[in-house]
Amino acid sequence: MRDGAQDRTSTGRRRIGTLALATVLLVSLVAPVASAATHAGKRPGAEADVSDVQLSVMPEGAGIPQRSATAIDARAPLPEGYVETEYLFESTAIVYAGPVTGRVTEDSDGNAFATRLLVRAPAEKADFSGSVWVEPMNTTGGGDFDVIWAQIQPLIAERGDAWVGVTVRARQTTLLKELDPVRYADINLTENEFGWDILRQVGTLLKAKNAANPIGELRAKHIYMGGYSQSAVDTATFVSAIHDLTRLGNGAPVYDGYIIGGRQSNLSPLQSGDSVVPDFEHGVIEGVDVPVVDYEAQADVEGFTIEVPTALAVDSGLEGAEDITTPTFDYVTPGGATVRRPDSNKRRDHYRGWEIAGASHGTGAGAGCIGGSSFPIGAFGRAAASNLATWAEDATAPPRGDRIELAVQGDVSESAVDDLGITLGGVRSPFVDVPLSTYVVHSGPGPYCKLVGIETFLAPDVLTERYGTVEQYMREFTKSLDATIKAGFLLKIDRQAILDEQQVRADEAFGAA
């Protein structure tokens, strides 16, 4: 087992891995304080070498890409006026070495790979905004997942942006070939560590007049990288370790901003072979010369502990699990409260951290879990992305959000609550300021349930005493929602959908009352 994989926490529990394990375990079970390091040790970046890149349209195969936005089960369909194209992306990659928050060096060069890019962009050049969102695909659940696309697609469509999903994890080679052995026959990605230079090259090409530019004749003025959960861990790692190495020929940064959601305290190691769940590092997100907006659900601020069967961890690909000698072990994923850092508007440090009170890592109810939560974390992700783009394009900084108040602080923290059980502090919204429900942000009993929550309506007598009628409740909720939108933590494009959904829930709650 790697150094640190069996470190003991202050509570005597074993720390290993990260939140990614819970998602990996879901596949098996239910089948559907570090301080900021400086940049002084990092070399100034050079423009990525894209001279040997080959870009070709993927073979037809079964006729549709894995995770296509045109599929019937797409979580966010392709907007009207957009086209989707999948490319085979072939080149060679630099492999980097060193701790994420320390000195990064080149370990080797000329490592051949073939991966895929999934591109969604306006069909007409005149409809393109000039902004592109690059997403390293989330892979911990098996297959690529376009989580940021699913969260911000309405914003992308409204603005006329493009989106590029990038397969960066080695295990996807096998999974994609199993899904469609004809379409993905030429995929060859043997090491996770190729992903950092792949992302450097993709960004460079998007701003270049190059035949291999994946958006063709469209010209990108601004490029943003984003991820949620496991892919947020990769994005945070890129910010801290690779951003300063990723420059254009004139020294300007390739990526103009980063959106990071639900990464807790985790950073991916620069080298992890083909591990699904590597031995993660932990640390703050370093300050860089472009905007970074990090939005963390309350659940991710807190972190969590679960008891995991060792055999299941081994089968799920958790690095170091084969060295554990006990039948089960306590798995601890430290929360984001352990790596908090101040907001900043400095020239070399543009950062906002939002901690969303009441939010679980995911919305909905997990199979076999107690309860579920309707808290719309994705709506706050859209607002975070909108603020990021405005910051980068118009130099208008996002609002600052208060940090969640903690009753217990440690590797796993507990949020402070009022006498109704409503979380104190954090980014406020009508869901917690005009409460219809209380939100417990972790559920049980299974590992995946730690990523979903339990929402419980307030007692009937509390509702009637507090609001009187459902009509009065909705008036107060609407007023608070409009204030949250005005503050910048939610978007006007989501207003009506939020009101419609809350009306249904209010009718149900007051009907019981």
Residue 310 maps to a domain: no
Q: Which residues contact 375 (CB under 8 A, 6 or more apart)?
A: 358, 359, 360, 363, 431, 439, 453, 455
Residue 112 maps to a domain: yes
Compute the chain's Rg from CA coordinates: 22
Residue 59 maps to a domain: yes
Q: What are phi and psi of 255, to 5 degrees?
A: -95, 135
- pLDDT tens track, the chain, 513 positions: 333 333 323 333 333 344 444 444 433 333 233 333 333 344 546 799 999 999 999 999 989 999 999 999 899 999 999 999 999 999 999 999 999 988 899 999 999 999 999 999 999 999 999 999 999 999 877 789 999 999 999 999 999 999 999 999 999 999 999 999 999 999 999 999 999 999 999 999 999 988 899 999 999 999 999 999 999 999 999 999 999 999 999 999 999 999 999 999 999 999 999 887 788 899 999 999 999 999 999 999 999 988 888 887 787 667 678 888 898 888 888 999 999 999 999 999 999 999 999 999 999 888 889 999 999 999 999 999 999 999 999 999 999 999 999 999 999 999 999 999 999 999 999 999 999 999 999 998 877 888 999 999 999 999 999 999 999 999 999 999 999 999 999 999 999 999 999 999 999 999 865
Alpha helices, DSSP H only, in 403-459?
430-433
- Taking CA atoms, 138 is separated from 128, 189, 368, in Å, by 26, 15, 23
Parallel/antiparallel/unpaired status of strands 406-408 and 414-415:
antiparallel
Residue 445 maps to a domain: no
Q: What is the DSSP track for 121-189?
A: EESSGGG--SEEEEEEPB-TTSS-B-HHHHHHHHHHHHHT-EEEEE---TTHHHHHHHH-TTTTTT-B-
Which amino acid would we find at residue 230? Answer: Q
- Quote the pLDDT of residue 447: 75
Q: What is this structure's pTM?
A: 0.91
Which amino acid would we find at residue 261? Answer: G
What's the rounded Cα separation, in Å, for the pair 512 and 29?
35
Residue 443 maps to a domain: no
Q: How many domains does the chain have?
A: 1
- Quote the pLDDT of residue 16: 38
Q: What angle do CA 298, 486, 288 make, to 5 degrees?
A: 60
- Identify whether the C-beta of residue 166 lies closer than 8 Å to the C-beta of residue 198: yes
Q: What are phi and psi of 133, to 5 degrees?
A: -105, 120
Crossing angle, helix 495-512 and helix 460-467, to 10 degrees?
120
The token duo for 287 is 């300050």
Residue 190 maps to a domain: yes
Residue 322 maps to a domain: no
The token duo for 31 is 């089948």
- Identify whether the C-beta of residue 284 lies closer than 8 Å to the C-beta of residue 33: no
Parent domain of 232:
37-286
